[in-house]
Amino acid sequence: MFNGIKNSIFNNRLKKQLETFSRNVANKSFDELETILFFFDCTSEEKYREFEKIYNYCKEQGKSIRAIGFTNMKQQAHYCTPRINFEYVLTSHYNSMGVPTASFVDELIKKDYDVLIDLSHCMHKSFQWLIALSRSNCKVGASDIKCMSPYDVTIDTVNDRSQRYLMQQAIIY
């Protein structure tokens, strides 16, 4: 019951924020992209390493990247390499309802990115909040998520939920 109340409060706050929200929607091919905002799962070293390969590929293509990883931990994991353009969402970075409170939040949601790619399957309410309020021109994510879909382009990941597969499909579309 308490979780239901928290979810209701979270959803009402998000709806209120979205009432005054506006952004320019535009889709570009991967080659045309300059800036990418990634949300990724780094709850295990294996998932973090999988994302590192995606990150390195995009950097090799000359893309400017900002990455937000969800750890579900109190402290940054030993395998999460500190980088200037990486942020890690720790349990101390959101309140009891899931609303993000970290210092990077305001700057993140105000900046325009060519595309936002959610490789995390909207794994936490803090990500749902950030993705919904991001001013990114195009938002791409999995269609099999359980939260309200904030995406412009959804990708079916029923047969393969890996970050690698989702990224391959995002490049195609």
Average pLDDT for 12-25:
92
Please report which confidence band the pLDDT of residue 1 belongs to, taking 50, 70 and 90 as the band edges: low
Please report which confidence band the pLDDT of residue 124 belongs to, taking 50, 70 and 90 as the band edges: confident
Q: Where are the beta strands (DSSP E) in the chain?
A: 35-41, 64-70, 86-89, 115-118, 139-142, 153-155
The answer to whether residue 106 scores a pLDDT higher than 80 is yes
Structural domain range at position 41: 2-172
Specify the 3-state DSSP secondary structure of 71: coil
For the chain, what is the domain count? 1
- In the prediction, which pLDDT does 26 show? 94
- In the prediction, which pLDDT does 16 show? 94
CATH number of the structural domain spanning residue 39: 3.40.50
Q: Which two tokens stand for residue 145?
A: 């998520």
The answer to whether residue 59 scores a pLDDT higher than 90 is yes
The answer to whether residue 65 scores a pLDDT higher than 70 is yes
φ, ψ of residue 139 in degrees (nearest 5): -120, 125
Predicted TM-score (pTM) of the model is 0.91
